[in-house]
Amino acid sequence: MGLEQYKGDMEMCCRCSTCKFIPMQRVSGHDFVNVCPSISRFNFHSYSGGGRLNIGAAMLRDGFQYTDRLLDIVYNCQMCGACGVSCNYAMDMEVLEPIQEFRIRCVADGKTHPALDKAIAGLRAHGSMVPPTGKRGDWAIGLGLKDATREKVDVLYHAGCLTSYDPSLQKLARATAKILQKAGVNFGIAGDAEICCGGRAYQMGYQEDFLRQARENMALIKQAGIKTVVTACAEGYQAFKVLYDKFKLRGDLEVLHISEFVDRLIQEGRLKPRKKVGLSVTYHDPCRLGRLGEPWVHWEGKKVPGDRFVFDPPKTYRRGTHGVYDPPRNVLKSLPGVTLTEMTRIKEYAWCCGAGGGVSESNPEFAQWTARERIREAESTGAEALVTACSWCEKAFDEAIRETGSALKVYDIVELVEAAIS
Amino acid sequence: MALSKDVYRAFEDVVGAEYICDDPVIMPSYHQTEFAAVLLPQNTAEVQAIIRLCNKFSLPFRPVCTGWTGKFAKGSLYLDLRRMNRIIEINEKNMYAVVEPYVISAQLQAELMKGGLHLNVKGAGSNCSAMLRGHGHLDQTTSGDDRNHLAIEWVTPAGEIVRSGSLGSSDEWFCGDGPGPSLRSILTSAVPPGVTPGVFTKAAMKVYHWPGPAKFPIQGVSPNYSLSEIPPNFMARYYSFPSVAKMFEAENKIGESEIAFELMGFNVAMVAANITTSNEEEEETFRRLSREVQGPGFFVIVAGNSAADFAYKRRVLEHIVAEAGGKSLASLEDPRLEGILLCQCIRISASIRETFRPGGMFSSIPVMGQRDLTIQWAIGAGKAKEPLIAKGLIVDDGGAFFGWGVEQGHLGKTEIFCKFDPQNPEAKAAVEAWHKEQSTRAFKERYFALLAGQDEEIGRGLSNYHIWWNEIQKELDPNRVSPEGGALV
Amino acid sequence: MTQEPKSPAMGTLAGMETGADALNAYSKDISFVNSVRPACVTRPKDAKDVQQIVKFANETKTPLVPVSSGAPHFRGDTVPSVGGAMIVDLSAMKKILLVDRKRRVAMCEPGVTFAELIPEVEKAGLRLNMPLLPRKSKSVTGSMLEREPVLMPKYHWDISDPLACAGLFFGTGDEFRTGQAAGPGTIAEQWAVGGVQKAPYGPGTASWHRMIQGAQGTMGIVTWTSMRCEILPSLEEPYVVGSLQLAPLLELAHWLVRLRMVNECFLLNGANLAAIFARRWPEDYVKRKAALPPWVLFYTVAGYEYFPEERVRSQVQDITEITQRLGIEAQRAAGGVSAREILRTVQRPSEEPYWKLRAKGACQDIFYLTNLEKIEGQIETFLHLGEKAGCAASDIGVYVQPIVQGTSYHCEFNLFYDAENRRESDRVREISALGTKALIAEGGFFSRPYGENARMMVNRDAASVAVLNKFKKIFDPNHVMNPGKVCF
Ligand code: SF4
Ligand code: SF4
């Protein structure tokens, strides 16, 4: 199957270029109208969502021809899914799925990117997408957290590779743990036994590596009898919730992003943010929490012969409608002294932080360019701080700010919640 | 096909290595054409330099903006204008905006609305260039065709920069005509699709008063956008009539009374396409709405400059509709659907849901000019669709055609589509045959001439215009580097 | 492009005249262009006659000067620039070919004047978008081909309006029909299926009518034109707003046009209003001028078929809000001139004698296009320049006409003078030249270059002129069509 299953979708592309822009109704001026980092940075149509489909359709028809330019196109895409949302406002067709399959095909054909190969080699060696800086569970030293592999817990907090290992981001894991402690949640971590969710490997096109990580993670979860997983990074969230489900590995495991969980805890009165934070913020929707965090929809069917591109049974497209948009905003609004001003590109049509799709590894310059564009947009709101809900985003923004010297502060939502409850 | 190293280098020196590509791998994304190269010029000077090189090396070029479908000669240069995307000026007092080619209508409209202005958004959609020639939903009050251009900055096919009208004489954009005869006679639409040879690098477009809010109050998540409230002094309705004659009578009176902000004569198939978010929902909605209407109809937006103005316009509208035996489509009076249609028709200009979503392709016969005359023809063309619908070759839209009055009914636009699956050869052939038959009939029966390329017989029937046009092209483009045809937008 | 024509003999050309009186009548006009006597005058009766004349001219290389309006002429465009020219006087082509209420269109030959066409369209319930008080003998076709500004900016969607289509012979002698009229079918065949000649664009990519408009007969000779007509209102309420300053009136005009609330809408200064309404000269003129405010904006609010009173009421209410904001007041009369009288007057051609000639027998018009921001400064400059040259600012007529729905403004100075008085006419000539130069320097755009200052106007834009010359080469390869005009 692979790419072939999306032949019809790719042929449906009418080359309207809508996938380059945020949905037309949301265009509120000349600026901040672009939604696809790739076409915005590289300009040739082939870097847009539609252009990728055009190439995919042509290659299915005429055979695959790999050139340096083709690989440049393939690996300079954050797999952020914004193209699909804009397209699917009007069109019934898959956009990101064929782009994903094209990558998988490239990897299967051995047409990989050296930087991504390196990252995957690390994954295979250490079970992590970032080089280990110590032991995976070191961040939790002194917090007195339960080991979910040995103790019975209701909730497993999956910290994720970057948060676990990056010394400047470990604070996010600690903040998350403190929040859960404060709310009296019976949770644990897997500590040194935790391994990568595999999500980034999948975006990079390494499907087998992803599946291995997924199976191992699910085995651990099953063994520990865990019913709920909480992640505080969007990558992990999407992997556990959406991708594991796509490959029918998730079972009935409940997957929550910390923002959803906190929102629930606040509503239930189990968490009471009382301390004034005093900050004007704007919120960045991580792609994989927002539009790509929307649940997987299982579907199998055939095109109905005839005039329309319709299927039996009817196909429900994932158009970004059901992503996680409100919980983080609810949480921010409940923090005393926090005022939220929205950017132009938000929710389902948010601009990517630049780190997705392995771009932070394969083309750091492009990743940073993308992050800088978001910083510019955040600055235009007049907010003091840019708040996100994913450590990969925070890292990307931190770097961009270091480079540009912007006065904007960057926080993860858990940092603000921690401040409000301590 | 490929450019020689030296030639490539010459172009590369103009735009920079990052903005030229001749790798065949990108060409499928450029209309399946084997272009010699794709270039991304940044400004007028670069466009001029490129065109001069094209003349030097005898290389044809095509300028394109967002770029829908198009037919191009193999081996030509594709000038992708996406880097030329600045709004140069919005002049509120003199009611015009100056844009570069890749400013899309949605962008310009959003900027204009902040200052109480708007523009004619072409039917190709607000995702297309704001400087297009053409028609759209808002023609009733914002004119159409080539009539919205003022001064234009134009790089001729010979590589000269010409600034028409007041721009050339006074460095101002307010007028595109003179001194003496108007260059707008040929500067009708160069970018895109580049039917005027050369490249438009900037154009001043007329803008109009916008009586609505600075920003539409959109709520919801794509594709379920709606308005949180209908803006004050706005109303959208769909009316159906007992017959085409009655419908046109009402349409004409509405134009003459100057009360409609927009009037779109589409049937419920197109209404269904606009208000639904999937093919299945569209089909179901079409069937349901078909049962609700009494016959052909139109969609109207009334927008008042004040409460009194709105009340007056609304009263007249209701009066005219009643006189013609029209009936409001009750289910569209639901404010949610009303809001969706307002947005679709003003901000999106509808297009993609109506055209490409069902089968991936549509074939159209668009007619500009006299509305009552073209309606007469379109009734027959719609009937001729019925056997294709019965065979399941094209999407069932009830044999619809559509159209509207332009400039409050002074002029008009009528169009008819067949929507089909281009991967189905039988459907493709049937649609092509329908297209040929109906356009031939239009010509033979003296309704209009559909001009596609340089048809001898049609040219002879139309004052030999094709020979004159050829002469003009020869004069402007002695090396023939700027061929006709091209992308839709 | 057509078959080689057989050369008609000169004597067989329609209405041929070579008598001195006839020739003298066309050898000069009220403008300052050099007097050049034509070699002969022809008076075609129909399109066939015209075609013969053009063929003859091509074969004999005879310069043709098309004239459609009756005398007096003002702009030098109908005076030959070269010797040996043949005048083609189209004023005998007087057929009104079509008036169609439903499609809001009329069609006539070039000899039809406003005075002749207005009653015909009115009978059908239609009206023309007129220029300001044309002389009685002014050709409707001539006015449209000259892109004269019209009084109702709201219906002036495009600067080419109200021209719809035209039938013509290019300088080559080839027949051509512009816009919808091009075909398919002959005009009669088009009528037979219910077609009219209304849509201006095409055929094909070009908008050919724009090529002959503003060309002063240098591209070809028009044998008929059609035009969009507007509906005759059932109720009209005219108003005047007087002001010492121009600025608030311009601001008001902008909003009236932008909101499309008014039909006729234009500004005149006291000198021009007085010139239009003065009965006895010079006393009445002087008295009226003194009584009138320096600037007057005139506009009409109208109602049509449905609830006209309600429409007028709602618009007057909306306008009042604007005038209050601007601190000005709309009234029914100003300085003894009633708005109703203005309305009645401007909906017809000028009474004889022509209003511009009443004061002193001659008038020089300097007109150009500009934008809202620049008008005031330019007017000041011109009036100052006039004063310096010895012409009192209060004697210079000024007319400001918003055009193309408020995207630009026609600004016109009318210098009334006595042509017999050498000093006076020299002064006017000097003001005209210096004024044109000064206005150009201040961004005025002379889109219709007439008279002896035409070169100054076209020389600003060599690139456009180069393209126009390419067209000229195609449509008039033998350079027989009104040589020496515009930039040819
Ligand atoms: S992918 Fe969708 S939005 Fe993009 S060009 Fe194709 S049809 Fe249009
Ligand atoms: S996934 Fe994101 S970066 Fe990739 S083509 Fe789509 S919008 Fe562009």
Interface contact B127-A67, CB threshold 8 A: no
Of the pLDDT bands very low, low, confident and very high (cuts 50, 70, 90), residue C5 is very low
pLDDT at position A86 is 98
- List, in order of start, the domains of chain B with CATH numbers: 5-80 (3.30.43.10), 87-209 (3.30.465.10), 218-355 (3.30.70.3450), 361-449 (3.30.70), 455-485 (no CATH)
Does B461 touch chain C if contact means CB atoms closer than 8 Å? yes
Of the pLDDT bands very low, low, confident and very high (cuts 50, 70, 90), residue C61 is very high
How far apart are alpha carbons B74 and B166 in whole angstroms? 38
For residue A18, how far is its CA from the centre of ligand 1 (angstroms)?
A: 6
Q: Is A7 exposed, middle or buried (0-12, 13-18, 19+ CB in 10 A)?
A: middle
Judged by CB atoms within 8 Å, which residues 74-103 of C form the interface with B?
102-103
CA separation, residue B293 to residues B239, B269, B298, B321, C457 (Å): 8, 11, 11, 14, 60
pLDDT per position as a tens digit, A384-419: 999 999 999 999 999 999 999 999 999 999 999 999
> Which structure tokens are listed for C392?
């009192």
Q: Which residues contact A123 (CB under 8 A, 6 or more apart)?
A: A129, A196, A201, A209, A213
Which residue, among C114, C202, C445, C4, has the nearest Cα to B450 in the 3D structure?
C202
Of the pLDDT bands very low, low, confident and very high (cuts 50, 70, 90), residue A132 is very high
The pLDDT of A15-24, averaged and rounded, is 96
> Which structure tokens are listed for A157?
């907090």
Give ∠ CA B71-B74-B76 in degrees, rounded to 5: 95
Distance from the B20 Cα atom to the nearest Cα atom in chain C, whole angstroms:
30
The pLDDT of C112-129, averaged and rounded, is 98
Which residue, among C447, C453, C446, C410, has the nearest Cα to C429 in the 3D structure?
C453
CA atoms within 13 A on the CB side of B476: 30
Interface contact B446-C195, CB threshold 8 A: yes
How far apart are alpha carbons C431 and C415 in whole angstroms? 9
- Chain B residues close to A22, C-beta within 8 Å: none
- Chain B residues close to A321, C-beta within 8 Å: 221-224
Ligand 2 atom nearest A47 alpha carbon:
5
List C411's β-bridge partners, or say none: C368, C400
Q: Is A118 exposed, middle or buried (0-12, 13-18, 19+ CB in 10 A)?
A: middle
List C409's β-bridge partners, or say none: C370, C402
> Which structure tokens are listed for B456?
């001898």
DSSP strand pairing (B37-39 vs B20-21): antiparallel
Is the minimum distance from the CB of A56 to ligand 1 under 6 angstroms? no
Give ∠ CA C278-C283-C284 in degrees, rounded to 5: 25
Mean pLDDT of chain C: 95
Q: Among A35, A307, A369, pick the best mutation site for testing chain B contact (most B Cβ within 10 A).
A: A307
Ligand 2 atom nearest A79 alpha carbon:
1
Is the minimum distance from the CB of A79 to ligand 2 under 6 angstroms? yes
- Ligand at minimal distance from the CA of A38 is 2
Using CA positions, which residue lies closest to atom 1 of ligand 1?
A50
Q: Among B161, B166, B439, pick the best mutation site for testing chain C contact (most C Cβ within 10 A).
A: B166
Are the beta carbons of B201 and B50 closer than 8 angstroms?
no
How far apart are alpha carbons A86 and A176 in whole angstroms? 33
What is the domain range of residue A210? 115-267
Does B87 touch chain C if contact means CB atoms closer than 8 Å? no
pLDDT values of chain B reduced to their tens digit, one per residue, 489 residues? 589 999 999 999 999 999 999 999 999 999 888 999 999 999 999 999 999 999 999 999 999 888 887 778 889 999 999 999 999 999 999 999 999 999 999 999 999 999 999 999 999 899 999 999 999 999 999 999 999 999 999 999 999 999 999 999 999 999 999 999 999 999 997 554 447 899 999 999 999 999 999 999 999 999 999 999 999 999 999 999 999 999 999 999 999 999 999 999 999 999 999 999 999 999 999 999 999 999 999 999 999 999 999 999 999 999 999 999 999 999 999 999 999 999 999 999 878 999 999 999 999 999 999 999 999 999 999 999 999 999 999 999 999 899 999 999 999 999 999 999 999 999 999 999 999 999 999 999 999 998 866 688 999 999 999 999 999 999 999 999 998 765 545
For residue B2, how far is its CA from the centre of ligand 1 (angstroms)?
A: 28
Of the pLDDT bands very low, low, confident and very high (cuts 50, 70, 90), residue A422 is confident
Which residue, among C322, C307, C306, has the nearest Cα to C262 in the 3D structure?
C322
Judged by CB atoms within 8 Å, which residues 11-70 of A form the interface with B?
11-12, 14-18, 20-21, 23-30, 33, 43-46, 48, 50-52, 54-55, 57-59, 65, 67, 69-70
Same fold, C2-89 and C235-441: no
> Which structure tokens are listed for C181?
């009229």
Give the class (CATH, top level) of C2-89.
alpha beta
* pLDDT tops 60 at residue A9: yes
The subunits that touch chain A, with at least 3 C-beta pairs less than 8 Å apart, are B
Query: Do C and A share at least 3 CB pairs under 8 Å?
Result: no
Is the minimum distance from the CB of A95 to ligand 2 under 6 angstroms? no
Q: Out of B103, B347, B396, name the one closest to residue A24 (CB).
A: B347
How far apart are alpha carbons C461 and B160 in whole angstroms? 13
Architecture of the domain spanning C96-231? 2-Layer Sandwich (3.30)
CATH number at residue A210: 3.40.50
pLDDT per position as a tens digit, A146-198: 999 999 999 999 999 999 999 999 999 999 999 999 999 999 999 999 999 99
* pLDDT tops 70 at residue C206: yes
H helices of A3-113, where? 7-12, 37-42, 49-62, 68-75, 82-88, 96-108
Interface contact A70-B25, CB threshold 8 A: yes
- Chain A residues close to B82, C-beta within 8 Å: 43
Angle between helices A364-380 and A391-404 (to 10 degrees): 80
Q: Token match 């870097």: residue? A: A47
Does B171 touch chain C if contact means CB atoms closer than 8 Å? yes
pLDDT at position C482 is 96
Q: How far apart are the two ends of chain C, measured CA to CA in Å? A: 22
Q: Which residues contact C400 (CB under 8 A, 6 or more apart)?
A: C246, C250, C253, C266, C267, C268, C375, C409, C410, C411, C412
Using CA positions, which residue lies closest to atom 2 of ligand 2?
A80
Does B348 touch chain C if contact means CB atoms closer than 8 Å? no
Does C463 touch chain B if contact means CB atoms closer than 8 Å? yes
3-class state of residue C100 by DSSP:
strand
- Chain A residues close to B223, C-beta within 8 Å: 88-90, 319, 321
Q: Among A18, A20, A25, pick the best mutation site for testing chain B contact (most B Cβ within 10 A).
A: A25
Please report the DSSP string for C357-397 in residue order. HHTTSEEEEEEEEE-HHHHHHHHHHHHHHHHHTT--GGGEE
The subunits that touch chain C, with at least 3 C-beta pairs less than 8 Å apart, are B
* pLDDT tops 90 at residue A327: yes
How far apart are alpha carbons C42 and C11 in whole angstroms? 10
How far apart are alpha carbons A56 and A60 in whole angstroms? 6
How far apart are alpha carbons A54 and A406 in whole angstroms? 39
Ligand 2 atom nearest A78 alpha carbon:
3
Whether the pTM exceeds 0.95: the reply is: yes
Q: Among B35, B80, B221, B362, pick the best mutation site for testing chain A contact (most A Cβ within 10 A).
A: B221
For residue B62, how far is its CA from the centre of ligand 2 (angstroms)?
A: 27
- Ligand at minimal distance from the CA of A53 is 1
Please report the DSSP string for B114-142 in residue order. HTTEE----TT-TTSBTT--B--TTHHHH
Does C135 touch chain B if contact means CB atoms closer than 8 Å? no
Does C369 touch chain B if contact means CB atoms closer than 8 Å? yes
Of the pLDDT bands very low, low, confident and very high (cuts 50, 70, 90), residue C2 is very low
Helix (H) or strand (E) holding A357: none
Cis amide linkage into residue A286, ω under 30° from 0 = no
Q: Which residues contact C74 (CB under 8 A, 6 or more apart)?
A: C29, C30, C31, C356, C363, C365
> Which structure tokens are listed for C305?
């078929």
Please report the DSSP string for C291-358 in residue order. HS-SEEEEEEEEE-SS-HHHHHHHHHHHHHHHHHHHT---BSEETTEEHHHHHHHHTSPPPSSPHHHH
Q: Which residues contact B245 (CB under 8 A, 6 or more apart)?
A: none
How far apart are alpha carbons B118 and A22 in whole angstroms? 20
How far apart are alpha carbons B12 and B5 in whole angstroms? 10
3-class state of residue B173 by DSSP:
coil
Interface contact A12-B360, CB threshold 8 A: yes
A36 assigned to some structural domain: no
pLDDT per position as a tens digit, B344-399: 999 998 789 999 999 999 999 999 999 999 999 999 999 999 999 999 999 999 99
pLDDT per position as a tens digit, C62-120: 999 999 998 888 888 899 999 999 999 999 999 999 999 999 999 999 999 999 999 99
pLDDT at position B453 is 62
The pLDDT of C120-136, averaged and rounded, is 97
User: What is the tally of structural domains in chain A?
Assistant: 1
Is the minimum distance from the CB of A83 to ligand 2 under 6 angstroms? yes
Q: What ranges do the domains of chain C cover? A: 2-89, 96-231, 235-441
Domain C235-441 superfamily per CATH: FAD-linked oxidases, C-terminal domain (3.40.462.10)
Interface contact C305-B256, CB threshold 8 A: yes
- Sequence-ordered strand ranges (E) for B207-271: 208-209, 218-219, 226-227, 234-240, 262-264
The amino acid sitting at A402 is R
- Ligand at minimal distance from the CA of B357 is 1
Interface contact B359-A309, CB threshold 8 A: yes
The amino acid sitting at C471 is F
Does B224 touch chain C if contact means CB atoms closer than 8 Å? no
CA separation, residue B225 to residues A232, A350, B283, B351 (Å): 30, 16, 20, 16
Are the beta carbons of C394 and C271 closer than 8 angstroms?
yes
Are the beta carbons of C29 and C81 closer than 8 angstroms?
no
The subunits that touch chain B, with at least 3 C-beta pairs less than 8 Å apart, are A, C
Interface contact B69-A348, CB threshold 8 A: no
A219 assigned to some structural domain: yes
Interface contact B221-A320, CB threshold 8 A: yes
**CA-based diameter of chain B, in Å?**
72
pLDDT at position C8 is 65
Interface size, chain B vs chain C, as Cβ–Cβ contacts under 8 Å:
300
> Which structure tokens are listed for C14?
């329609």
Is the minimum distance from the CB of A51 to ligand 2 under 6 angstroms? no
Judged by CB atoms within 8 Å, which residues 318-347 of B form the interface with C?
319-320
